[in-house]
Amino acid sequence: MAAKNWTKETFTLNTGSKIPAIGLGTWQSQPNEVRNAVKVALQAGYRHIDTAFAYGNEAEVGEGIKDSGVPREDIWITTKLDNPWHKRVEEGINSSLKSLGVDYVDLYLMHWPSSTDPSDLKKHYPDWDFKDTWAEMQKLPASGRVKNIGVSNFAIKNLEKLFADERTKTTPAVNQIELHPNNPSPKLVDYCKEKGIHVTAYSCLGSTNSPLQSDKTLHKIAEAKGKSPSLVLLMWGLQRGTSVIPKSVTASRIQSNFELDGWELTDDEMKQLSSLPDRFKVCGDSWLPVKVFFGDDE
Ligand SMILES: NC(=O)c1ccc[n+]([C@@H]2O[C@H](COP(=O)([O-])OP(=O)(O)OC[C@H]3O[C@@H](n4cnc5c(N)ncnc54)[C@H](OP(=O)(O)O)[C@@H]3O)[C@@H](O)[C@H]2O)c1
């Protein structure tokens, strides 16, 4: 079978919508750099941009989209409901749409299963949790302002809780979670697949200053393929059936991270990368008022 041209591939969600396999991440992309990064990415052929209210850069992301000249309807935009906004879902989406300068987003995610009290970010609401938030989010697609709804940072335990709630009528279209060879979470990925939830891999390069960038196994494979370690990490994510959203504000990296057509990793290379001995998460839950991770592969 011929290797895929991943830059043109999409994954079909349980709603029938098609999410482009490769997107540009924008966490920690500063307002003065993200506008250009988004423009460069879209002009290089990316058709999927991942942002969030919490990144503080939705307005600049929106400007970058306009600067690119690529029609809005050709672009997949994901943004996320921030934790202190769980009781204000309507307000949250309206604020994001206004900042982005668009009248709909393709995917709206609950950023974390933490309904944080906005008057004290160390506290969780006593009378509200993510199940209540989801009940509100389910109303959004009917308005046309949100094409798909999903979750992020949901472990199996919390997905089970969500499904057990009688108000849950909509299965999340996507669960966006941390995935890279130091945190491959095969059980969670398989669970989502079984339930018809598409998985997007965040921190797919191992995030900022990643130890993965100097991993020996990764380098050996990258050398053998004649590809950069970053490209090998992205191909690993794609071949597992997850969409990937590498972040960069560097034009040359944005462009080179998109060289994902016409080559592939062998089963053995995939296996080697999935079996690295070092296991850890980059994005923990210690900063949240509630525990959301329950092991390295929930
Ligand atoms: N849902 C969530 O809770 C959540 C959490 C974390 C992340 N995310 C999303 O996932 C996206 C990706 O995750 P991430 O930002 O944590 O990290 P990442 O994409 O794994 O890694 C980004 C880092 O890699 C560098 N980089 C990019 N391409 C490179 C290349 N070809 N060679 C060497 N270094 C390279 C970037 O540097 P430069 O920018 O300086 O080029 C940056 O320091 C985020 O931006 C965000 O959109 C979501």
Does the annotation count 55 as an active-site position? yes
Among 126, 197, 125, CA closest to 168? 197
| Crossing angle of the two packed helices 267-274 and 229-239, in degrees rounded to 10 | 100
Nearest CA owner, ligand 1 atom 12? 203
Q: Report yes or no on 183 lying in a domain.
A: yes
Task: Judge residue 148's burial from the number of C-beta atoms within 10 Å of its C-beta, 0-12 exposed, 13-18 middle, 19 or more buried.
Answer: buried
Q: What whole-number distance in Å separates Cα of residue 87 and Cα of residue 190?
A: 31
Annotated binding site: 111
For the chain, how many structural domains are there in total?
Answer: 1
Task: Judge residue 286's burial from the number of C-beta atoms within 10 Å of its C-beta, 0-12 exposed, 13-18 middle, 19 or more buried.
Answer: exposed
Q: Report yes or no on 117 lying in a domain.
A: yes
Task: Judge residue 219's burial from the number of C-beta atoms within 10 Å of its C-beta, 0-12 exposed, 13-18 middle, 19 or more buried.
Answer: middle
Any atom of ligand 1 within 6 Å of the Cβ of 176: yes
- Residue owning tokens 């307002």: 31
| Candidate of 233, 247, 259, 283 to mutate for ligand 1, largest count of ligand atoms within 8 Å of Cβ | 247
Q: Which domain holds residue 125?
A: 19-213+242-264
Q: Report yes or no on 111 lying in a domain.
A: yes
Q: Report yes or no on 61 lying in a domain.
A: yes
Any atom of ligand 1 within 6 Å of the Cβ of 79: no
Annotated binding site for substrate: 111
Nearest CA owner, ligand 1 atom 26? 248
Any atom of ligand 1 within 6 Å of the Cβ of 237: no
Any atom of ligand 1 within 6 Å of the Cβ of 26: yes
Q: Report yes or no on 1 lying in a domain.
A: no
Q: CATH number for the domain including 153?
A: 3.20.20.100
Among 77, 5, 73, CA closest to 38? 77
Predicted confidence pLDDT, tens digits, the chain (298 residues):
689 999 999 999 999 999 999 999 999 998 889 999 999 999 999 999 999 999 999 999 999 999 999 999 999 999 999 999 999 999 999 999 999 999 999 999 999 999 999 999 999 999 999 999 999 999 999 999 999 999 999 999 999 999 999 999 999 999 999 999 999 999 999 999 999 999 999 999 999 999 998 999 999 999 999 999 999 999 999 999 999 999 999 999 999 999 999 999 999 999 999 999 999 999 999 999 999 999 766 6
Q: What is the DSSP letter of 227?
A: S
Dist. CA 296 → ligand 1 center (Å): 20
Nearest CA owner, ligand 1 atom 10? 202
Q: Report yes or no on 75 lying in a domain.
A: yes
Count of C-beta atoms within a 10 Å radius of residue 22: 25
Atom of ligand 1 nearest to the CA of 208: 43
Q: Report yes or no on 119 lying in a domain.
A: yes
| Candidate of 203, 227, 230, 244 to mutate for ligand 1, largest count of ligand atoms within 8 Å of Cβ | 203
Q: Report yes or no on 287 lying in a domain.
A: no
CA distances from 83 to 53, 185, 270 (A): 10, 24, 35
Its pTM stands at: 0.98
On whether the CB atoms of residues 13 and 174 are closer than 8 A, the answer is yes
- Dihedral of the alpha carbons of 36, 177, 7, 50, in degrees to the nearest 10: -30
